[in-house]
Structure 1
């Protein structure tokens, strides 16, 4: 009997629990055609003074918890490096006070790749910034132009280099299915991301949100989002590439905020998209690992804790395994084992 043993292919992110703080539209030079941050996050636009005060209050309350957690403060939703002075400094000073007590271990922000000048990054790093996630969306000039991003693919690449050269960890956010999309653009974006080797990737398929410029284009028939089927297939290929490169996947799809669901007009959103995509990517990985064993029926022993991922959302992959001639058996071990009688 021939057999192969291998671990789950996904590299899990390491670090403390994330404490997300959303700053919708704060610091953004303009509004991109697809953007509905207030609906995506469930957080309305508020003055920075109010958001800073709320964070200060929440962190002080967290200091009183016993046992107390260790956290990564994540400042999302706006363009952090372009916030008006002195707000980046004030948020980082607040984080530094709680880093001194051990509550905060790392600080992360999201921003645009055209707002990360080397001297600016160096100053923020010295104040305690650890990770910069760049909302790249695409490395394709056509998609960037059609989406109103306001920068080029060359600027996106330079932004990534600037983050690395500043000694900061790099995160990359991609948005497949943008206006201006053509077959192959997203997979090229994934290949470019793999070459950059970031410390984490988020994948947010483009959807149509009410009261955005993209919604107006969609209503006139000028934009057609990806189908859920195509999204699953494209993202599964992307996850396979990220698995092989040992790059952690931080998020797949938008969070199911009630405000988002109320405003969603069209596009490949599903509450179980992450599970669907991971299941399909794992299915492809297992089949690839089994190829050297030759043709014919096989037995897969998989760790019990991955039962949901193996079977897929609502057991949708059961027939796929049957058609592939693979019999499934769970076990309490850590690895996957494929047997060929």
Structure 2
């Protein structure tokens, strides 16, 4: 049996992240810790702008690139005038020079007015990632997001109607979580057909209102085991709809790592989830095979995730009849499963 991985092909262009923590945000949500997440405690937009221009010029002079420029953190579409326009004008200059190929930003779903999106698209914005967090009214209210699930859906629709690519960020395990909520969020997100998705299980970070609720026993975060299981299920749903999942769990950052009090914070969270999703796919194919498998050929690009983190899934493959001696890695795009 020959088959391919259902995951959409990754982008071949490197992302140049520009962090604007808290900039433009109307208020701070219960869980938010962008200062810890980015390692920046303040946002001086002029300083960031000037540093970005200098760094882009150096990259151009050195023949590096191309890059996709990404404005993360804060609420880009709600930055004070004229910063959104100024950042995009800078990006356009280096786009003309061939260094920048695409521009994306992150923002809130209640900060995407049609005229704003139209103006920013005309200035060169290509993709908008919406920090949806959840489509559930109870979870949104308990987390202090300030909008409803319907507003979240409308924000996604407005991005698409403006001719922009859509990215969706979800934050499972929020206050107000209950069994099945994340699966429903994933279903709704998949139905909206975004280009990309990010899945960030909720963490308890020192200094946030959520940390105080956790200390009072009012909030219980997901375990790492639950996060891996739920993320793996979500991957299969999103891959089936051709959605690229570009991040699971927050990127390692010293200021964040030392500030996490509770929750599924693990450097290999994404690897474990991807490995478990791949295992479920192999199990499915073994059932379709209709006989005992004797060998599995795996594209080399998946060698780092087949067995999950630190070989945690090797026993599961052994139980399938695929011990390490029956698995080999090869160049090429196809998995090949053979039976006796």
Q: Tell me the TM-score normalised to structure 2 length.
A: 0.96
For the 8 Å contact 2:23–2:73, the answer to whether it is kept is: yes
Aligned to 2:335: 336
Matches within 5 A, 1:112-261: 112-261=108-257
For residues 79-115 of structure 1, the C-alpha deviation after alignment (integer angstroms, 9 at most, x for no partner) is: 0000011111111111111111111111100000000
Q: Secondary structure at the match of 1:269?
A: coil
Q: Which runs of 5+ in 1 are unaligned?
A: none
For the 8 Å contact 1:118–1:162, the answer to whether it is kept is: yes
Aligned to 2:311: 315
Aligned pair count? 337
Q: Which moved more, 1:51-60 or 1:181-190?
A: 51-60
Aligned to 1:14: 11
Aligned to 2:33: 36
Q: Secondary structure at the match of 1:113?
A: coil
Q: Which runs of 5+ in 2 are unaligned?
A: none
In the alignment, the residues of structure 2 paired with residue 242 and residue 157 of structure 1 have an alpha-carbon distance, to the nearest angstrom, of 17
Higher relative contact order (CA 8 A, sep 6+): 1
The CA deviation at 1:294 is 2.1
For residues 173-213 of structure 1, the C-alpha deviation after alignment (integer angstroms, 9 at most, x for no partner) is: 00110110010010001001110110100010100000000
In the alignment, the residues of structure 1 paired with residue 193 and residue 239 of structure 2 have an alpha-carbon distance, to the nearest angstrom, of 12
The one of 27, 33, 51 aligned to 2:24 = 27
The CA deviation at 1:29 is 0.2
Aligned to 2:65: 69
Matched, 1:95 2:94: no
For the 8 Å contact 1:198–1:247, the answer to whether it is kept is: yes
The CA deviation at 1:295 is 5.0
In the alignment, the residues of structure 2 paired with residue 284 and residue 46 of structure 1 have an alpha-carbon distance, to the nearest angstrom, of 43
In the alignment, the residues of structure 2 paired with residue 333 and residue 6 of structure 1 have an alpha-carbon distance, to the nearest angstrom, of 14
For the 8 Å contact 1:25–1:79, the answer to whether it is kept is: yes
The CA deviation at 1:333 is 4.0
For the 8 Å contact 2:204–2:210, the answer to whether it is kept is: yes
For the 8 Å contact 1:121–1:163, the answer to whether it is kept is: yes
